[in-house]
A = this chain, B = another copy of it.
Amino acid sequence: MADFTLKCFVESGNAYKAALMLQLCEASWEAEWVDFFNGATRQDAYREENVMGEVPVLVDHTQNDLTLSQSGAILLHLSDRFGKFVPDNRSDELEMMRWMFFDNHKLTSYVATYRFMSKFMKKEGEPETEFLKARAMGALKVLETHLSTHDWAAAGQATLADISMCGYLFWPDHFGVTWDDYPAINAWLKRIQELPHWASPEALLPASA
């Protein structure tokens, strides 16, 4: 049996954050596909395990099946387990946390939701989709500005903040941007792809049936 089970599906960039961390840490893990688009996360049994009703969920079989949701909490747990991707001084760690919160609050929050509404719900151009798009582009602009003077989000090294923020960003065509227009993000994504053992979402996560 693998050490970890990740409940996931390939379209979820939040699941990819956890899968990428597992991959970069060379963890023993297996994917359990969740049929999100047919409502699996809205079922009672799923909600009983995870009241937030989200993907991903990580189960750590080496720690009495400790079960976690929220990609940020999962990343923190995996960094505890593998001792990787967290800087060793607290002020750098706080800067890392600041970008992880920014990711959840502004970047993934809007990029993922805009992508969902435009690509999967086919609501491009509708007012709610345009609202999300404007917020998503604002968050990308903040990230571009920051990365224009920083190789990594925090601490001058790859950390959980980078793994978190890149979750949806290998799919620029899914939210209508080209990284040619964001040279600092483009260069940073290439640095991430050069990390040992990096793999794409499609290589790590199970596709829908």
Binding site for B on A (CB under 8 A): 47, 51-53, 66, 68-73, 76-77, 80, 90-91, 94-95, 97-98, 100-102, 104-106, 108-109, 126-128, 130-132, 142, 145-146
Contact = CB atoms under 8 A, between A and B. Distances in A.
Given A53-B142, A102-B52, A94 B109 contact: no
Given A51-B146, A127-B128, A131-B128, A94 B106 contact: no
Given A101-B104, A128-B128, 12 more contacts: A51-B142, A52-B102, A68-B98, A70-B101, A72-B97, A73-B94, A80-B90, A101-B101, A104-B104, A105-B105, A109-B109, A126-B127
A70 B94 CA distance: 10
A70 B98 contact: yes
29 contacts: A47-B145, A51-B142, A51-B145, A51-B146, A52-B106, A52-B142, A70-B97, A70-B102, A72-B97, A72-B98, A72-B101, A73-B94, A73-B97, A73-B98, A73-B101, A76-B97, A77-B94, A80-B90, A101-B104, A104-B104, A104-B105, A104-B109, A105-B109, A109-B109, A126-B127, A127-B128, A128-B128, A128-B130, A131-B131
Contacts of A69: 98
A76 B72 CA distance: 14
Tell me if A's interface is mostly helix, strand, loop or mixed: helix
A76 B97 CA distance: 9
Nearest to A93: B76
Contacts of A95: 73
Contacts of A101: 70-73, 100-101, 104
Contact of A66 (B91, B128, B132): B91
Nearest to A112: B105
Contacts of A97: 70, 72-73, 76
